[in-house]
Amino acid sequence: MRIKNGSEVTFHYELRNEKGELIDSTFGGEPVHYIQGEGEIIEGLETLLAGEEPGFEAKVTLQPEQAYGVTREDLIVFASPENFDDQVELKVGEVVETEDPEGNLIHFNIIEIEEDKVYLDGNHPLANQTLEYKVEVIEVA
């Protein structure tokens, strides 16, 4: 069966940055399950896998626009240190969570701390990066 919108797809992937450094892999572990056309995986992988069938293997290089997007300056914000719970460790590199007005969980990476401001980046950690994927389709239903 070929992958089309609505197909339930199971696949393995290996993800590397443009320097060839391994970021993540499901090979040797649990594969990914998603529904084609629902936006559950990045656009570049959905496009690559469309029309393929079990056994398909490929390597692809994805530009930021096809992966996690380019860095958006409007997602870099600041807050006062008093806005954080006492349990939150305010340290550069830490990830903090909050909810948007609809109740969806949003993650922010702390990128800078000043005496009266904590700068937060809401962009995906892989935004603005060219990524290399190796994929293998296991099952299509």
Domain ranges of the chain: 8-69+126-140, 73-121
Output the 3-class SS for 58-73: EEEEECHHHCCCCCCH
What CATH code is assigned to 8-69+126-140? 3.10.50.40
| Predicted local confidence at residue 85, as pLDDT | 86
| Predicted local confidence at residue 103, as pLDDT | 86
Residue 36 near residue 9 (C-beta atoms within 8 A): yes
pLDDT at 8 over 90: yes
Q: Do strands 76-79 and 95-99 pair parallel, antiparallel, or not at all (unpaired)? A: unpaired
pTM of the model: 0.82
* pLDDT tens by residue, 89-134: 899 999 998 888 888 888 999 999 999 999 999 999 999 999 999 9
Partners of 32 in beta bridges: 11
**Cα–Cα distance, 133 to 38 (Å, whole number):** 20
- Residue 18, SS3? coil
Kindly state the helix (H) or strand (E) to which residue 120 belongs, with its residue range: strand 118-121
**73-121 CATH, one of 3.90.1150.10, 3.30.230.10, 3.10.20.30, 2.40.10.330:** 2.40.10.330
Q: Do domains 8-69+126-140 and 73-121 have the same CATH topology?
A: no
